[in-house]
Amino acid sequence: MGLVITTADAEAGSAGRLVGRVQERRLLDGLIESAEGGGAAALIVGEAGTGKTALLTYVAEVASSRVGLRVLRARGEESEAGLAFAALADMLLPLREKFTELPPAQRHALEECLVLSGALSGGSAGKSQLGACAATLRVLASAGAEHPVAVLVDDLQWVDPESRRILLFAAHRLAAERVVMILAVRDEPGAPPPEPGLQVLRLGGLSVTECADLARRLGADISPPALRSLVELTGGNPLAVLENLPAAAAGLGGIGGFEAARLTLGRVLEHAWGRLFAELPEDTQRALFVVATDGGSGGCHVEAALGRLQLSLASLAPAECRGLVRTTDGEIQLRHPLLRPVVVGRTPLGVRAAACRALAGVTGRPSAGLVPGRRGYRSR
């Protein structure tokens, strides 16, 4: 029977299963354990699939079972990003009994934002946000005085702007309170820098050693060359490694290593990277396919191939502005290896064929192309 990766494995969220992130866990453990003496806030930053949710789940388990903190959770939802104060309501409604301790003006401001005191009048929520900020901090402080609190917020990039402003207002003012706030946000090309003044824990890819540990825990028997190839092709992204581990362990990646043409992405990663690709102009998308296809040469044929397609390096400017391509030591490369299967998979066949003919004309090789395979694309 082949290796099967379950949803629980993909989340890898329990304290016992979390792989790597030793330094991050140590720092977060320290924050949680110090809540008794004073509050703090931290921001976990990482691309899609790096395990931000898994790390928050680990923190929740440590906070509730090992340290005994009360855990409050909220999560941004892409479909609810336009619903004002939705995330704030998720976080604060479990503490609604504390609202009675607020000064009347602050209580009215908070309840008005959460639509607990009648319908909002035009613009009134905006006018009362400072009061809601102060009220939120006071509610959290009151709860912390009774019992230390851990506030965990996932997918901050999708939290509605109104809730986000209030959460960050409180996060900067927790030093005197028994409240720890940990927020996780997706790192994307072109995204604004992390919130200044907060401690930042930036998640990168897992190492080969850590991915080998992950494979062992899942019972995957994978050869060292195949594992190294898989880690290189995914940038060590934990979710991408998990999604491709069964194929790599089954030896479907060719002799020795794991081929780039075999790499596939699941719904989360395809959506995350695909949205960025879809926002680019059509000529930039075509130019990115040339970069993705010529990756093995370090992009040394890109400019000449673009010329044959009546494009130029200027066609890549929008992708460069978004941080999707970079130039290192004269080589033109995609920002992240996970972009390659997205670019290849979303480029129409006619565009692929024309680009491959252009590259073949530049390199002098009969074909530099990619043709559809049973799993993604394979070299021809």
Give the residue from 69, 134, 150 showing the smallest Cα distance to 101: 134
Q: What are the φ and ψ backbone dihedral angles of 149, each rounded to 5 degrees?
A: -125, 140
Expressed as residue numbers, the domain containing 111 is 21-203
Half-sphere exposure of 358 (CA within 13 A, CB side): 25
Q: Is residue 14 part of a domain?
A: no
Domain membership of residue 6 (yes or no) is no
Q: Is residue 190 part of a domain?
A: yes
**pLDDT at residue 376, rounded to an integer:** 37
Give the pLDDT confidence score for residue 341 in this predicted structure. Answer: 92
357 falls within a domain: yes
Residues 33 and 133 in one domain: yes
N-term to C-term CA, the chain: 31
pLDDT (0 to 100) of residue 353: 94
Domain final residue, candidates 172, 203, 234: 203
Residues 375 and 323 in one domain: yes
Q: Are residues 183 and 55 in the same domain?
A: yes
Q: Which residue has the tokens 């479990």?
A: 94
Please indicate, yes or no, whether residues 254 and 195 belong to a single structural domain of this protein.
no
In a domain, 104, yes or no: yes
185: CATH: 3.40.50.300
For residue range 163-177, list pLDDT tens digits in order.
Answer: 999 999 999 999 999
Point out the domain boundary residue: 245, 267, 289: 267
CB neighbour class for 253 (10 Å; exposed up to 12, middle 13-18, buried from 19): buried
Q: How would you classify residue 236: left for phi > 0, otherwise alpha for psi between -120 and 50, otherwise beta?
A: left
Q: Are 192 and 227 part of one and the same domain?
A: no
Give the pLDDT score at 374: 34
Looking at residue 49, its pLDDT comes to 95
Of the residues 171, 188, 203, which one is the last residue of a structural domain? 203
pLDDT the model gives residue 129 = 83
Residues 38 and 132 in one domain: yes
Q: DSSP letter for 206, please.
A: P
* Low-confidence stretches of the chain (pLDDT beneath 70): 1-17, 117-127, 252-261, 296, 366-380
Predicted confidence at residue 117, as pLDDT, reads: 54
Q: Is residue 9, in this structure, part of any structural domain at all?
A: no
Total domains in the chain come to 3
